[in-house]
Amino acid sequence: MTLPSWVWVILGYALGSIPFGYLLTRLFTGEDVRNTGSGVTGATNVSRRLGPWGGLATMLLDAGKGALAVVLAQAFAQDSRWTALAGLAAVLGHCYPVFLDFRGGKAVATALGVFLIACPPAVGVAAVLFILVIWTTRYVSLGSLLAAAVFPILYWLFHGPESGVVASSCTAVLIIWRHRDNIRRLMSGTERKFSLRRKA
């Protein structure tokens, strides 16, 4: 029996809600990562407690859940609109996870996984911009914001006007919204710079 396409959207949200950063930090330190630094469950904040390898593991796992949501929807949903919705649902799940009282991360890594499947060339260009900004400024938040802002344009250039453009635009708006505190700190000059050193 073929499942209705909306099931893959619900599954995308459930996958996105898996709080890998929270689970890893709880496993290795017994602490809630949301009580550290920026108060979110993403890779940058996890690296403050677990060091660079913990942050890398979180990034890969968060990207993986986004990618899996899209792969499943591509395989079983009825058309590309449902695939786009499943990817967007995974991003929403990461930001507002049902398993953590809707207090999650900022969705950069999950969005990376989603669009790495949906539009690899656009992800490649955005990733180069992200790395260059961090390399020159050491502000992860600024790299994330700029990459998110240009990504819908990149998606449109590589894929044209389709449902993925709408999903990427919604994702970009969500990522920027989730970084609103970072934007205020960047404007005031109080934003923390990225360091590979583990917080004591």
Q: Give the start-to-end residue ranges of the domains of the chain.
A: 6-188
- Reported as a single tens digit per residue, the pLDDT across 120-172 is 999 999 999 999 999 999 999 999 999 999 999 999 999 887 888 999 999 99
pTM of the model: 0.91
- Reported as a single tens digit per residue, the pLDDT across 56-80 is 999 999 999 999 999 999 999 878 8
Q: Are 86 and 8 in contact (CB under 8 A)?
A: yes
CA 186 to CA 137: how far, in whole Å?
11
Q: Which of 100, 104, 79 is nearest to 9 (CA)?
A: 79
